[in-house]
Amino acid sequence: MNASAPDMSRFPELSAPERILLGPGPSMVDPRVMRAMVTPVVGHLDPTFVRLMDRIQDLLRYVFQTANPLTIPISGTGTAAMEAAVANAVEPGDAVLVCVNGYFGARIAEMARRYGGEVQTISRPWGEVFTGEEVRAALEQRPAKVVAIVHGETSTGAEQPLADIVRAAHDGGAIVIVDTVASLGGVPLSVDALDIDICYTGSQKCLSCPPGSAPITFGPRAVAKIDGRKTPVANWYLDVTLLRQYWGEARIYHHTAPISSFYALYEALRLVAEEGLEARWGRHRALAEMLWAGLERLGLALHVAAPHRLPSLTTVRVPEGVDEAAVRKVLLSEYNIEIAGGLGELKGRAWRIGLMGYSARRENVELLLAALGKLL
């Protein structure tokens, strides 16, 4: 083994540019959240941190608009919360219906298969949404124990109406998993009013927090299904029967929480509460409409029909003859703006523009429209 010291000229001090992040995530982080991350680290069972855990849960219930006791942040990214939802809800042999109209619906289906679910999918073209009648018909043809759907599909920019979907699933005897990674905190949503059974999100989008924590909430039907499992949850780290003992009154050790990430999440949730959900939803909507109108003035077509556009993420069709990657490269190098290209079926055919949390500001919209106007 070579124990000689490495050449430190190869490892300069950490430095990163302060970008204007207008892609599908992460979004820009509020300076108050950044400051929270330098708060001194304490132990994960320190009384100070235990009190913080309770406050985080209370604020998460406000953001989710729920009274669910089992409302916690998963120590991981939004995909970890997705997997927690699937791993806990799906037992081997369970019939599962997944609504797929984009990349992340397909990811849920793949996870459910890996946990032994008997997965059926219904599909819509990328950018379209489902109706309650479609879900009802699929369940009449083949009953399921779990129905999963994405509220704000990051790959397409479509916002899925949920009320009829949830009602159809419950009428068919299924519990409902809803992915709100790209929508919670920026788009109107109430877990309790909609009667959603499992709902999860990520910290790095409309909550404007660095990636690394993933809030999730479990309603009474979901908790009953988990408690009635015949087999243990296959994923030990994401087993909520263990996690709720750490987040509950017993505080039984499960894993070392990412202390600084939860400091950041707490401050991000405080910012949501200070602004107020309705005001925050209104800000995202107003700026999205400003962006949509400006893009159309530039002659650009939007991929999703107006009634189902997701305010936090807009997909723009790339004009014929335009090199979409070259445009993104110049936006980054000359204007310091990051947007994203298409994902999956939309790769090479669309740009994805995010207006999430701290990134959703008027000056950012004006700068992006001006830059695109010059480039195109």
Closest-CA residue to 368 (of 340, 338, 341)? 338
Q: How far apart are CA 148 and CA 97, in angstroms?
A: 6
Is the pLDDT reported for residue 1 higher than 70? no
Co-location of 164 and 183 in the same domain: yes
pLDDT tens for residues 31-68? Answer: 999 999 999 999 998 999 999 999 999 999 999 999 99
Closest-CA residue to 325 (of 359, 375, 290)? 375
Phi/psi of residue 254, nearest 5 degrees: -125, -55
Return the H-helix or E-strand segment holding 175.
Answer: strand 175-179
CB 94 within 8 A of CB 88: no
Co-location of 177 and 215 in the same domain: yes
Q: How many domains does the chain have?
A: 2
pLDDT, averaged across the chain? 97
Is the pLDDT reported for residue 359 higher than 90? yes
Which pLDDT value is given to residue 339? 98
Is the pLDDT reported for residue 2 higher than 70? no
Which pLDDT value is given to residue 252? 93
Q: What is the DSSP string of 328-354?
A: HHHHHHHH-EE-EE--GGGTTTEEEEE
Ramachandran class of 157: left when φ > 0, alpha when ψ lies in -120 to 50, beta otherwise? left
Say whether 23 sits in a helix, a strand or coil. coil
Which pLDDT value is given to residue 3? 79
- Percent of the chain at pLDDT above 90? 98
pLDDT tens for residues 133-152? Answer: 999 999 999 999 999 999 99
The end-to-end CA distance of the chain, in Å, is: 56
Position with higher pLDDT, 3 vs 7: 7
Co-location of 231 and 138 in the same domain: yes
The CATH number covering residue 258 comes to 3.40.640.10
Write out the residue range of the structural domain in which residue 151 sits. Answer: 31-273
The CATH number covering residue 355 comes to 3.90.1150.10
Report yes or no on 37 lying in a domain.
yes
Which pLDDT value is given to residue 72? 98
Say whether 76 sits in a helix, a strand or coil. coil
Place 4 in a pLDDT band, splitting at 50, 70 and 90: confident
pLDDT tens for residues 92-129? Answer: 999 999 999 999 999 999 999 999 999 999 999 999 99
Q: How far apart are CA 128 and CA 125, in angstroms?
A: 6
- Amino acid of residue 292: W
Task: Tell me the average pLDDT across 174-181.
Answer: 98
Ramachandran class of 185: left when φ > 0, alpha when ψ lies in -120 to 50, beta otherwise? left
Last residue of a domain, one of 248, 273, 298: 273
Is the pLDDT reported for residue 306 higher than 60? yes
Q: How far apart are CA 107 and CA 110, in angstroms?
A: 5
